[in-house]
Amino acid sequence: MFKHQTKYFTTPIFYVNDAPHIGHAYTEVAADVLARWHRAAGVDTRFLTGTDEHGQKILRTAEANGASPKEWVDRLVAQEWRPMLENLNIANDDFIRTTDARHEAGVAKFLQRLYDKGYIYEGEFEALYCVGCEEFKPKSEIVQGAAEFTGHKVCAIHSKPLELLQEKNYFFKMSAFQDRLLELYERRPDFIQPAPARNEVIAFVQQDLTDLSISRNTFNWGVPIPWDESHVTYVWFDALLNYITALEYSTSVVGDEPGSVALAKYWPAVHIVGKDILRFHAVIWPAMLMAAELAEPECVFAHGWLLVGGEKMSKSKLTGIAPHEITGTFGVDAVRYYFMRAINFGQDGSFSWEDIAARYQAELANGFGNLVSRVLAMNAKYFDAKQPESGDLTGADKQISELAARVTSLANEHITKYAIHEAIAVVWQLVDALNGYITEQEPWQLAKDEAQRVRLATVLATATEGLRVLAQLLAPVIPEAAAKLWRSLGAVAVLGELSEQNIAAAGQWHKLPAGTPQEALPALFPRVELAAGVKK
């Protein structure tokens, strides 16, 4: 099950040249669900997210908006990025910005360490650069432009012309790590997930691995190279280091890495990233860590694209949808649920307003919300809004309690493999089974016969206990609805706060004592006025 004492989840740190769209929201929610679940399983968990604020892309955007780069990033972080996290109910433990002093000091320290170890050298360089990717492009990602860019070489991802850069740069001897990287992928098959991502990286590294240009000297929006302040650090080299600078790397003892308490405790990390930036995380980053003699990440998990109209959602291609547009219509829980349920984690998935509306109605409103309302309403009507006292369990009741135990253990197992969609699908078996159970047991018929009073109590106690299990198992995904349900079951008074419950033990039965007072609960997923809110 959950083998580790500690766990460290990270998201990419996002470029703040623009406001977030739901592609960014998707990554945040996935990492948040994993972090919340591990915390609930009693694992000492740290969850880091943040913003990537240096580089040419941001510098140019700031200039185009008549702001200094620092003014620009401060504004976007405060007005767009932090509010997105709040709006999505993201429970991150830390938020790192690459303009933080702790980060800049850590980058300088790391560079100096590699320089002293002889892994950095000076050289001349000429290559095609994509400012959108912030990357010198490999041949495989350079294509001929079309329409207004006919005759130009363009980036295969951004379809915009590449810039020929000719500079004196500092280089990181990444080629020296080719064999060690291949050995790492071989020795630890789970290092890169899912499997197709792993295969892609192995094929890439098996080709010639070149050294990496890690400095720029034509602009100064970045972390200065410590031994040559006429250069700033390449934005990706700078950005990747956030994962350790957030663990106090800058104050750790050189020569005795990892000297910081946080680094020793939480490193290495599980990096949740989109597949666009897999290579940076699975090739460059472990090579950097090897050079510094730090442990490689625990895992790099590359998730797929959120597609809109069959295309990767992106602001530059104008398919971007702001997270608040959908949370405003469906509520934050529904959006979190939809992202995690509708898309197999690790694969591409299409977003559409019709699809989220359909799942909202069928699964959240009719499937789960209605179940909760019915059971609580019957408890109120027949048992004075108190947990009924269960009699002996019959076969049908036992099937429910056994399913609850099975579903708990399977869902937890899926989470340890980062299969979030599978975990939710398994939990939903309990939602469906409880709905079927109520239909079959017909408590409203039992209520008509005083002789069936114990049976009625047993059925409703069983169903309510099922709701208690669901509140625990769904808390990482739909935290607001789960907390409301937990309160209305009266569970806080008898079992403590939902956040204190062990999710791995959610399937234990008879946890709610008979007589526990319950509270009325308005519909968890009320009808959404689709005609007004839904864009087609």
Q: Is 298 helix (H, G, I), strand (E, B) or coil?
A: coil
Closest separation in Å from C-beta 88 to ligand MSP: 13
Q: Which is nearer to ligand MSP, 154 or 239 (CB)?
A: 239
What burial class does residue 380 get, using C-beta atoms within 10 Å of its C-beta: 0-12 exposed, 13-18 middle, 19+ buried?
A: middle
Distance CA 175, CA 173 (A): 5
Give 367's DSSP letter.
I
Please say whether the beta carbons of 167 and 219 come within 8 A: no
Please say whether the beta carbons of 7 and 270 come within 8 A: yes
Active-site entry in 109, 133, 299, 303: 133
Give 149's DSSP letter.
G
Q: Any alpha helices (H) in 132-284, and if so which ranges?
A: 178-187, 195-206, 235-240, 242-245, 261-266, 278-279
The total number of residues written for the chain in this structure? 536
Residues 6 or more apart whose CB falls under 8 angstroms from that of 396 comprise 437, 440, 441
Q: Which is nearer to ligand MSP, 285 or 383 (CB)?
A: 285
Closest separation in Å from C-beta 413 to ligand MSP: 25
User: Hey, what are 305's tokens?
Assistant: 């694209």
155 catalytic per annotation: yes
Measured at the alpha carbon of residue 246, what is the angle toward residues 242 and 247, in degrees to the nearest 5?
A: 125
CA nearest 162: which of 117, 126, 110, 198?
126
Q: Which is nearer to ligand MSP, 54 or 109 (CB)?
A: 54
Sign of CA dihedral 187, 8, 202, 166: negative
299 catalytic per annotation: no
Residues 6 or more apart whose CB falls under 8 angstroms from that of 234 comprise 212, 213, 214, 215, 216, 222
Active-site entry in 7, 21, 38, 303: 21
Please say whether the beta carbons of 273 and 159 come within 8 A: no
Closest separation in Å from C-beta 224 to ligand MSP: 19
315 catalytic per annotation: yes
Closest separation in Å from C-beta 26 to ligand MSP: 5
Q: Which is nearer to ligand MSP, 107 or 506 (CB)?
A: 107
Active-site entry in 103, 109, 155, 303: 155
Closest separation in Å from C-beta 277 to ligand MSP: 4
Q: Which is nearer to ligand MSP, 313 or 489 (CB)?
A: 313
Q: Which is nearer to ligand MSP, 303 or 359 (CB)?
A: 303
Q: Which is nearer to ligand MSP, 314 or 518 (CB)?
A: 314
CA nearest 325: which of 317, 315, 316, 335?
335
Closest separation in Å from C-beta 287 to ligand MSP: 14
Q: Which is nearer to ligand MSP, 300 or 411 (CB)?
A: 300
Closest separation in Å from C-beta 235 to ligand MSP: 8
Catalog residues that contact ligand MSP under the rule CB under 6 A. Answer: 12-15, 23-24, 26-27, 52, 239-240, 242, 273-274, 276-277, 305-306, 312-314
Active-site entry in 153, 173, 315, 386: 315
Please say whether the beta carbons of 506 and 472 come within 8 A: yes
Distance CA 393, CA 401 (A): 9
Active-site entry in 130, 231, 303, 414: 130
Distance CA 394, CA 78 (A): 57
Which conformational region is residue 515 in: left (phi greater than 0), alpha (psi within -120 to 50 degrees), or beta? left
54 catalytic per annotation: no
Closest separation in Å from C-beta 154 to ligand MSP: 18
Closest separation in Å from C-beta 53 to ligand MSP: 9
Q: Which is nearer to ligand MSP, 69 or 274 (CB)?
A: 274
Cis peptide before 268 (omega within 30 of 0): yes
Give the type of residue at 120.
I
Active-site entry in 153, 173, 312, 386: 312
Q: Which is nearer to ligand MSP, 19 or 454 (CB)?
A: 19
In Å, how far from its chain's centre is CA 2?
18
Closest separation in Å from C-beta 24 to ligand MSP: 5
DSSP output for 75-139: HHIIIIIHHHHHHTT---SEEEETTSHHHHHHHHHHHHHHHHTT-EEEEEEEEEEETTTTEEPPG
Catalytic residues: 21, 24, 130, 133, 155, 158, 312, 315
